[in-house]
């Protein structure tokens, strides 16, 4: 069958079996590679010409439970006929995101939704592929961990007069670390300001990030913490957050799966 007589299903099947979309972007926070909407479009353009088809992308704004969602539609259409196939995907627009204005937030949400609409259209799986599991010789070597440097000694509310005098004496003699006056150390600030990993799934107000526990696991943690069965005392929201931060995670949805079972035991 020549390309002039090809229908949308046959043409899309050829594209799906031929397309190789490389991961051209790097997440500096997680240290992994991923593909963007633009990477997919650049890879598919030559194949579209071969099957005489085009791809059209457009968005719609949808409100659900008081939240704004971008509905992205990826449409695969034949050039010489009205035959077409479309796939849609949703992404929730964040109320606020540090360092972005309103138009940038909407644009980033649109790009994310369009990427997953294209993933569905062309059968691209971003969760299980060679980049996620590759341990071969081509894998770049990880830099050696930096040696911890000595932290300045800080006077806190718990410091005694003897502690303060000892630090002063050490500073004068040059045998101790630098001496800083009284200050408050906000250990949670670094967690709050850390960049977020890539979102791989969103259900209402629940978000699953790449490399972190799933949404069902997040719900299980809350259910365990709030349970009053078998003599268990429900744990307050603040106590839950404090426990999670003790493992260096800013929120429950940022817990790494390696720490999940240990945190479950703490909450049980």
Decide if 146 is inside a domain.
no
pTM: 0.45
Please check whether residues 13 and 113 belong to one and the same domain: yes
Please check whether residues 217 and 246 belong to one and the same domain: yes
Nearest 5°: the CA angle 251, 156, 177 is 100
pLDDT > 50? residue 181: no
Please check whether residues 71 and 108 belong to one and the same domain: yes
Decide if 114 is inside a domain.
yes
Is residue 169 within 8 A of residue 161, CB to CB? The reply is no
Tell which phi-psi region holds residue 83, choosing left (phi > 0), alpha (psi between -120 and 50) or beta. beta
Please check whether residues 112 and 162 belong to one and the same domain: no
Question: How many CB atoms within 10 Å of residue 208?
Answer: 19
Please check whether residues 169 and 207 belong to one and the same domain: no
pLDDT in tens, 199-251: 888 877 778 888 888 888 888 888 888 887 777 788 888 888 888 888 888 88
Cα–Cα distance between 130 and 71 in angstroms, integer? 29
Please check whether residues 163 and 215 belong to one and the same domain: no
Average pLDDT, rounded, for the chain: 77
Please check whether residues 14 and 116 belong to one and the same domain: yes
Please check whether residues 101 and 165 belong to one and the same domain: no
Kindly indicate the confidence band of residue 101, based on its pLDDT and cuts at 50, 70 and 90. confident
Least-confidence region, from 4-18, 167-181, 254-268: 167-181
Beta strands in the chain (DSSP E): 25-27, 32-34, 53-64, 67-78, 84-92, 153-154, 179-180, 199-203, 206-209
Decide if 8 is inside a domain.
yes
Most confident of 45-49, 181-185, 197-201, 248-252: 45-49
Domain range for 30: 3-127
pLDDT > 80? residue 157: no
Number of structural domains in the chain: 3
Decide if 187 is inside a domain.
no
Please check whether residues 26 and 67 belong to one and the same domain: yes
């Amino acid at each position: 069958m020549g390309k002039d007589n090809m229908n949308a299903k046959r043409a899309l099947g050829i594209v799906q079996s031929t397309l190789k979309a490389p991961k051209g972007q790097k997440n500096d926070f997680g240290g992994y590679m991923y593909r963007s909407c633009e990477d997919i479009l650049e890879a598919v353009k030559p194949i579209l010409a071969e099957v005489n088809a085009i791809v059209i992308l457009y968005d719609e704004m949808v409100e659900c439970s008081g939240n704004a969602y971008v509905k992205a539609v990826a449409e695969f259409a034949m050039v010489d006929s009205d035959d077409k196939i479309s796939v849609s995907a949703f992404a929730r627009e964040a109320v606020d995101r540090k360092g972005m204005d309103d138009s940038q937030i909407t644009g980033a949400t649109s790009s994310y939704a369009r990427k997953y609409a294209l993933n569905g259209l062309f059968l691209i799986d971003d969760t299980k592929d060679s980049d996620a599991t590759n341990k071969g010789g081509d894998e770049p070597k990880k830099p050696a961990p930096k040696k911890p440097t000595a932290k300045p000694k800080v006077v806190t509310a718990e410091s005694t007069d003897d502690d303060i005098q000892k630090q002063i004496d050490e500073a004068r003699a040059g045998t101790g670390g630098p001496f800083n006056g009284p200050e408050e150390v906000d250990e949670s600030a670094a967690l709050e300001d850390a960049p977020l990993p890539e979102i791989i799934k969103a259900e209402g107000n629940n978000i699953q990030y790449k490399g972190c526990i799933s949404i069902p696991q997040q719900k299980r943690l809350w259910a365990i913490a709030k349970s009053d069965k078998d003599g268990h005392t429900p744990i307050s929201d603040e106590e839950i957050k404090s426990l999670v931060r003790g493992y260096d995670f800013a929120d429950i949805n940022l817990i790494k799966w390696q720490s999940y079972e240990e945190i479950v035991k703490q909450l049980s």
